[in-house]
């Protein structure tokens, strides 16, 4: 029986932050290979708590030219602040689920974005909020899912997780959690109903 319902944050509860990468590609004149290198080498480090200033230097190594700190901050923090938009229908749905189930967030996120989310109250109402920047581990590392289950005192088969990235879904499934890739709220409700989740 399902006892806990867990959500990715970006791309599920708020809009995906792909606009940051589009701006970075324009601002820093990145080709596709460099953009992937940015995500793999810079963003991945930011998401486990590395300071922005340190990763500015790493990005300069990727693009092979100096980047003003002000520009770097505007791309990675200013863009998030300007474009952040909560999924209102999902927020209402989570509140309805929270009446009968434990609910939680498992998010790969940088420190500055998490602070903005907190100021907007976007983590309120969740029984557990697992943020990669605070834990020093990020999805799809199975340790972050184990951390959440331990906090909630739940077995894998009692948990269901949804994320917009298939590799994060697969990692949860490898632990015997129920997991679905998120596409939209209609599909999510259908998947949850098939597991006997009531709302």
CB 69 within 8 A of CB 51: no
- pLDDT at 168 exceeding the cut of 90: yes
What is the pLDDT averaged over residues 160-184? Answer: 98
What is the tens place of the pLDDT at every residue in 18-53?
Answer: 999 999 999 988 888 888 888 888 999 999 999 988
Cβ burial, residue 37 (10 Å; 0-12/13-18/19+)? middle
pLDDT exceeds cutoff 90 at 65: no
Q: Are 97 and 103 in contact (CB under 8 A)?
A: yes
Residues 121, 84, 126: CA angle, nearest 5 degrees = 30
Q: What is the CATH number of domain 4-15+86-194?
A: 3.40.50.1000
For range 128-152, the mean pLDDT: 98
Reported pTM: 0.94
Q: Please state the rounded mean pLDDT for residues 120-125.
A: 96
Cβ atoms within 10 Å of 59's Cβ, excluding its own: 22
Q: What's the confidence (pLDDT) of residue 63?
A: 81
């Amino acid at each position: 029986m399902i006892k806990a319902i867990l959500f990715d944050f970006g791309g599920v509860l708020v809009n995906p932050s792909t606009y940051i990468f589009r701006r970075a590609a324009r601002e820093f004149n990145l080709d596709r290979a460099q953009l992937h290198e940015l995500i793999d080498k810079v963003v991945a480090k930011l998401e486990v708590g590395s300071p922005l200033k340190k990763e500015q230097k790493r990005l300069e190594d990727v693009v092979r030219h100096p980047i003003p700190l002000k520009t770097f901050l505007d791309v990675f923090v200013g863009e998030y602040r300007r474009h952040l938009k909560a999924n209102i229908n999902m927020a209402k749905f989570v509140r309805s689920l929270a009446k009968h189930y434990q609910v939680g967030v498992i998010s790969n996120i940088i420190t500055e974005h998490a602070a903005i989310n907190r100021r907007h109250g976007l983590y309120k109402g969740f029984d557990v909020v697992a943020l990669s920047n605070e834990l020093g581990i990020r999805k799809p590392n199975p340790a972050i899912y184990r951390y959440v289950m331990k906090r909630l005192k739940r077995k894998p088969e009692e948990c269901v997780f949804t994320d917009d990235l298939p590799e994060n879904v697969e990692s949860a499934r490898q632990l015997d959690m129920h997991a679905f890739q998120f596409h939209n709220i209609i599909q999510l409700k259908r998947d949850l109903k098939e597991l006997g989740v009531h709302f």
